[in-house]
Structures are given as structure tokens and as C-alpha cells.
Amino acid sequence: MYETTRTTKALALAILLAPAISLAAESSSSTISQSNTSVSAAALAKTASLGAVKGDDYKDPDLWGRIRSGYAIPDVDNNLVAKHVQWYSSRPEYLARTSGRASLYLYHVVQELEKRGMPTELALLPVIESAFNPQALSTADASGLWQFVPGTGKDFNLKQNMFKDERRGVLASTDAALTYLQRLYTMFGDWQLALAAYNWGEGNVQKAIQKNRAAGKPTDFESLAELMPAETRNYVPKLQAVKNIIANPGQYGVILPVIDNQPYFTTVDKTSDIDLAVAAQLAEMSIDEFKALNPQFKKPVITGESTKILLPKENAEKFHLNLAQWGHALSSWTTHKITGAKETIASLASKFGTTPDVIRQANNIPPQMRLKAGSTILVPKTSTSTASDIAESIIENASIALEADRGSSKGRKLTGAQRIKATVAELKNRVTGGSKPSARVNGRKHR
């Protein structure tokens, strides 16, 4: 259980700050292979030697200081590092926005790193990956603070269904990212190579090592850099640049906002379906504040018996108090499966006492698109609807399939431009599964 004494003002500030442009560029793909997970005794010894610092024993009131104390990755010092230090230090607004978002999540990340005996500068990696924006989405559909693509997310048990995407969830994605980094460190026995593999893929790093070995050349990061794509070649220097600035902000004319060295949020168990808006209301938070800590939820209803939500401590206390006094239904949504072409969005809206726009918005259905038979959609509960929660089998297996609506309810044909727009929307829906990102970052992530 995580606790905090911080007020929600910092949270509100982080939400109001405009999303920053991610620094991610391009990377290559790699499939996680069990054959590549041979354990290096030397690597394990290095990891163990780092030692975990107990958060309760560390008294620095500033979380930045706690991070500095755990630096353990050998430094890189080259022209690329100097270039990226200049880039970051000359953009104080960017650092302020990123730090504002990081203030919600950074304590948890540092705590988890220390539990595993990992270098604490790895807590700065989301600066490079997503600018600490959990809604960040790359052009290759890499998502969340740690930028997992769907396939790698599944490899690390990050659930991705119609109702939630755990690649965006703070707890699940951090656990997956640190587990992945540990695996890579065990594989290569070197944190710089582990980072390169996190960005480029372990298979590509292994091939580069083999090529240099065959040529009698060294196999450290800087010796392999010329074989790497530009993004990976810059990846470790970018982290080093951020690390340098955090280590000595005054040297670079940077003023870091204070981030308290104490937990920001606590976990709250949810035992039944609850509307996202109701959960925020019970916690006495705005929708945006609530979503900042719970970005994995994709629909207006939070489903699943074992689901946890994150809230600042004082808001968690308000949540429990208000929930005990709540005299209304917690959820106003259920699901409906489309049986045939006769079930249009307009007819569904009439059947469930709502409007077409509400159904489209709740299910991310673009204009000029219609539902195919077999699709499962979210609809408002009616007096005849079941009062029970959405079944786990539906949560895990529900999907939406769309096709272009070739004409309106009045039989009017779509124009050529409308047909093209609808076709593009249909293709996009097939790729994204109907999810609608709120932020997009540059670059391709294929790990």
C-alpha cells in the first residue's frame, strides 16, 4: 500500500501542463527468445552488488536526491551526451512539464528499482521514452510511460482488451519494464547494452556483439554504436544527459521542481463495476486528475473484480467515506452484442434510451462507420437491463468490428471523400482495436 501526504494541487498542475513532444525516434524489432535468457553469473553478481536502499531509511526530503544516491551505471562522455545536455538544458519549459507529470509516478518507480537492487537512474528512462506521459502512443502503437508495443506487452502479461490497456497502467507497466530490463542485464551483464537492447531489441544487440567479436573488436556500447541505428546510438547518451542534469542542475542553469520523497498515491480495491465518473466523484477529484493516475481504463466504466485504482491518500479516504454513503447505482453501463445489420447505431440509441453520439463516443466509433455483426459494445443500462456486473468472459473477449456506412438512415449515398474517410477509419480501427489515443509520440517502437 502506497501512501502520500501531498495535496492534489501538484496533480492538478501536472494535468494542466501541456503534453511534451517525446524524444523517441526509430528502433528495430526483436522477438523475446527463451534461448537468449541464459543466466550470467557475473551479471547476477553485479546486480546483487548494487544493494537495495530501503526507502524508509532514506531521509532526503527531495526525491531527486534519493535518485542521485543510487546512480550505478557507468558514465558515457562523448559528443552525443554534450549535444543532448544542451538540448534539455536549453528547454526549461520541457523539463518543467515532464517533471510535473513525473511527480505523480516517480516515487513508485524509484521504490521498485530499489527493491530489485537496480540503478536508480533507470527511473529517468520514461523521460526519454514518453516524457512521463502515460497516454503517449507512438506511430507503431507503443504505449505508456515505458512504451511497450502490443506484442511485448502481452509477453509481460500486460492485459490489453476493450476495457483497459495495462501498458498505460502505472503499476503493471513499471513492473513489466523493470522485469524486462533485469532480463536484459542478466543476458548482457552490462547496463548500457541492456538499455540498447531495450530500445533496439536483444537479438540485434547480440548480432552486433557477434560481428565485433568476429572482427576482434571490443563489444562495449560505444564500440558497438556504429552498428546501431541512430535512435539506439543516441539512446544511452540521452539518458546520460538527463542523468547529468539531475546530478548537478545548477551547473546547467536548470531549476528542478521539488518532488517529495514520499509516496504520491495509494491503491484502492474495487469490488464491483463502477463508472469512471462516479469513482472520480467519490474521490472528490476531477476526471482528468483521476485519469492521470488511472490511464489504463479505456471506457467510461471500470470493470473487473480484482481491479485496483490509484488515488492520493487523502482522496482515498474521501472515496471510502463517500462510497459508504452512496445511495445510487455505481455503474450505468452494460454490454450488448450486435446480431445483424438491422441493428444500427440509431436503432440502438433508441432501444437503450440514449443518443447515437453517446454510443459512438463510449465505443470510439468514428463517423460514417457502422458496427458489424458479432461486435460487443457498451450501452447504457435500462430498466430491463441486467443489474449484474459485466462478465469476465466478456471483458476478456469483447471486440468491435467496423465497416464503412455506405449510406445514411435516409438512404443518401456517401460522397467519394466520405467513403475514403470511412475506409481510412476502418483500417485504423483494425490496427488499434478502436482505441483512441490522447497523445502521440514520434518514432517507431518495435521491442
- Whether 163 and 284 share a structural domain: no
For residue 379, list its beta bridge partners: 334
Contact call for residues 181 and 109 (beta carbons, < 8 A): no
Give dist(CA 188, CA 182) in Å, integer.
Answer: 10
- Whether 303 and 184 share a structural domain: no
| Residue-wise pLDDT tens digits, 334-344 | 999 999 989 99
pLDDT at 59: 62
Does the pLDDT of residue 431 top 90, yes or no? no
pLDDT at 353: 94
Of the candidates 26, 129, 166, 202, the residue annotated as catalytic is 129
Query: What is the three-class DSSP state of 268?
Result: strand
| Residue-wise pLDDT tens digits, 264-278 | 999 999 889 999 999
Give dist(CA 231, CA 236) in Å, integer.
Answer: 9
Query: Which of 283, 308, 325 marks a domain boundary?
Result: 325
Of 26 and 152, the one with more pLDDT: 152
Q: Please state which of the ranges 119-123, 140-144, 178-182, 212-216 shows the lowest mean pLDDT.
A: 140-144
Does the pLDDT of residue 386 top 90, yes or no? no
User: And the C-alpha cell for 442?
Assistant: 514520434
In a domain, 3, yes or no: no
Q: How confident is the prediction for the chain on average, in pLDDT? A: 84
In a domain, 258, yes or no: no
- Whether 83 and 28 share a structural domain: yes
The residue written with cell numbers 447505482 in the block is 329
Does the pLDDT of residue 21 top 90, yes or no? no
In a domain, 35, yes or no: yes
Give dist(CA 348, CA 359) in Å, integer.
Answer: 8
In a domain, 280, yes or no: yes
Query: Which of 193, 225, 252 marks a domain boundary?
Result: 252
In a domain, 356, yes or no: yes
Say which CATH number the domain at 34 has.
Answer: 1.10.530.10
H helices of 116-248, in order, are 125-129, 150-155, 170-188, 191-200, 202-214, 221-224, 230-247
- Whether 366 and 409 share a structural domain: yes
End-to-end CA distance of the chain: 31
pLDDT at 417: 56
Q: What's the structural domain count of the chain?
A: 3
- Whether 117 and 23 share a structural domain: yes
Query: Which of 292, 325, 358 marks a domain boundary?
Result: 325
In a domain, 38, yes or no: yes
Average the pLDDT over 118-126 and give the result: 98
Does the pLDDT of residue 440 top 80, yes or no? no
Amino acid, single-letter form, for residue 146 = W
Average the pLDDT over 94-123 and give the result: 98
In a domain, 281, yes or no: yes
- Whether 271 and 362 share a structural domain: no
Average the pLDDT over 72-96 and give the result: 97
Q: How far is CA 129 from the centre of its chain?
A: 10
- Whether 240 and 277 share a structural domain: no
pLDDT at 406: 76
- Whether 57 and 188 share a structural domain: yes
Amino acid, single-letter form, for residue 336 = H
- Whether 132 and 230 share a structural domain: yes
Q: Using the 8-state DSSP alphabet, how is residue 56 labeled?
A: G
- Whether 293 and 399 share a structural domain: no
Q: What percent of the chain has a predicted confidence (pLDDT) above 70?
A: 77
Does the pLDDT of residue 204 top 90, yes or no? yes
Q: Using the 8-state DSSP alphabet, how is residue 137 labeled?
A: B
| pLDDT tier, 416 (very low <50, low <70, confident <90, very high otherwise) | low
In a domain, 257, yes or no: no
- Domain ranges, residue 114: 9-252
pLDDT at 293: 98
- Whether 273 and 366 share a structural domain: no
- Whether 393 and 420 share a structural domain: yes
Of 61 and 35, the one with more pLDDT: 61
Q: Please state which of the ranges 42-46, 66-70, 247-251, 327-331 shows the lowest mean pLDDT.
A: 42-46
Q: What is the pTM of this model?
A: 0.80
Does the pLDDT of residue 70 top 60, yes or no? yes
129 is catalytic: yes
Average the pLDDT over 54-72 and give the result: 80
Contact call for residues 348 and 336 (beta carbons, < 8 A): yes
Residue 216 CB partners (closer than 8 Å, separation 6+)? none
